[in-house]
């Protein structure tokens, strides 16, 4: 089994990301297709993850552009495989084929649009579909919160229906398991903590909790609807008279829609100084949807998450 860390340790900002890296030590790097690494941020992030022993990069993109980018970075690509493609769409299709064939155990987005990569991944004949819909999970290290915080889905599902939300919740629980948390506490968010027929997200929250009770969602403790203060503040939950294992102590925040999840995550990143990582789960391989603005620390943490997911899957009975 991969090493784990104390998920409830009150570590300083950045310390849990360091612990993520340490949790992968002693394990072989995972073959990872880097999709179109034709700019400095994407190529340098992939090379940093390689030097940390997290991944074995397969550089998928136009050879000339990759080599020119490496030259600008004064980076040595000796020993790395470059899969030459003519353009970004071909890079995405080729990387997906490598993952579907088992040559790559993970995908990392490079200098192309998310829609290009996910369009290739989501093709019915691509071979990366599982029994679940795919969803994105932010993993945030927030100084004022005593545990890592997973937020979903802020990247893929614009207005998920109940079926999609079921998969979004299960994907987040699976990522929490890979991080070493046996029974993550899942808060299903809305604007209020009571069921109100005029607020559809409260009805979905109640239904998801019932689905968990009936075994349609497994491996976590669900509560909802919860307003965000009642999800992350014990004091706020007590003031409202909420008594549950989740209220005030959530490990996972499930937002009503993409806009809410994206806003919560980015507010924490830009106003609270949270360090971020993230993965798409629900495919046959984990997918790192890195952004051009992501720094090396974020790219390393996302690669470490992908490693832990692969190791967790490999060690399942």
Q: Which CATH class is domain 132-280?
A: alpha beta
Q: Is the pLDDT of residue 77 over 70?
A: yes
pLDDT tops 80 at residue 76: yes
Residue 3 has pLDDT above 60, yes or no: no
Domain spans, the chain: 1-129+283-317, 132-280
pLDDT (tens digit per residue) in 175-230: 999 999 999 999 999 999 999 999 999 999 999 999 999 999 999 999 999 999 99
Chain segment 267-304, per-residue pLDDT in tens: 999 999 998 999 999 999 999 998 777 788 889 999 99
Lowest mean pLDDT segment, chosen from 23-37, 109-123, 291-305: 291-305
Sign of CA dihedral 119, 204, 229, 196: positive
Q: Are 166 and 209 in contact (CB under 8 A)?
A: no
Band of pLDDT at residue 1, cut at 50, 70 and 90: very low
pLDDT tens digits for range 117-161: 999 999 989 999 999 999 999 999 998 998 889 999 999 999 999
Q: What DSSP line would sit under the chain, residue for residue?
A: ------TT--PPTTHHHHHHHHHTTTSPPEEEEEE---SHHHHHHHHHHHHTTSEEEEEEE-HHHHHHHHHHHT---TT-EEEE-SSHHHHHHHHHHHHHHTS-SEEEE-SS-HHHHHHHHH-TTSS-B-SS--EEEEEEE-TTSSS-EEEE-SSS-SS--HHHHHHHHHHHHHHHHHTT-SS-EEEEE-SSSS--TTSHHHHHHHHHHHHHHTTSS-SSEEEEEE-HHHHH-HHHHHHTT--SSSTT--SEEE-SSHHHHHHHHHHHHHHS--EEEEEEESBSS-EE---TT--HHHHHHHHHHHHHHHHHHHT--
Residue 13 — very low, low, confident or very high, per pLDDT cuts 50/70/90?
very low
Residue 6 has pLDDT above 60, yes or no: no
pLDDT, residue 218, reads 97
CATH topology of domain 1-129+283-317: Rossmann fold (3.40.50)
CA-to-CA distance for 197 and 207, rounded, in angstroms? 12
């Amino acid at each position: 089994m991969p090493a784990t860390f104390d998920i409830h340790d009150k570590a300083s900002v950045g310390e849990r990301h360091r612990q993520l890296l340490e949790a992968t030590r002693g394990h072989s790097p995972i073959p990872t297709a880097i999709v179109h690494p034709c700019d400095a941020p994407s190529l340098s992030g992939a090379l940093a993850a390689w030097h940390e022993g997290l991944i074995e990069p397969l550089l998928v993109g136009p050879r000339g552009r990759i080599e020119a980018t490496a030259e600008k970075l004064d980076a040595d690509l000796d020993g790395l495989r470059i899969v030459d493609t003519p353009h970004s769409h071909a890079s995405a299709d080729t990387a997906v084929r490598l993952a579907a064939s088992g040559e790559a155990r993970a995908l990392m987005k490079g200098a192309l649009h998310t829609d290009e990569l996910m369009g290739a991944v989501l093709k019915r004949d691509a071979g990366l579909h599982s029994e679940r819909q795919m969803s994105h999970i932010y993993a945030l290290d927030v100084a004022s919160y005593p545990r890592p915080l997973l937020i979903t889905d802020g990247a893929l599902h614009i207005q998920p229906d109940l079926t999609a939300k079921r998969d979004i919740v299960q994907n987040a629980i699976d990522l929490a398991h890979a991080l070493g948390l046996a029974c993550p506490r899942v808060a299903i968010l809305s604007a209020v903590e009571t069921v109100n027929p005029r607020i559809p997200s409260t009805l979905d929250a109640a239904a998801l909790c019932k689905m968990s009770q009936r075994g349609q969602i497994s491996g976590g403790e669900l509560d909802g609807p919860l307003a965000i203060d009642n999800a992350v503040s014990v004091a706020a939950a007590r003031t409202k008279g909420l008594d549950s294992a989740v209220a005030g102590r959530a490990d996972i925040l499930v937002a009503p829609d993409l806009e809410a999840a994206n806003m919560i995550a980015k507010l924490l990143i830009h106003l609270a100084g949270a360090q971020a990582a993230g993965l798409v789960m629900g495919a046959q391989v984990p997918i790192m949807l890195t952004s051009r603005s992501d720094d090396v620390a974020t790219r390393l943490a996302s690669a470490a998450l992908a490693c832990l997911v692969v190791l967790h899957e490999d060690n399942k009975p």
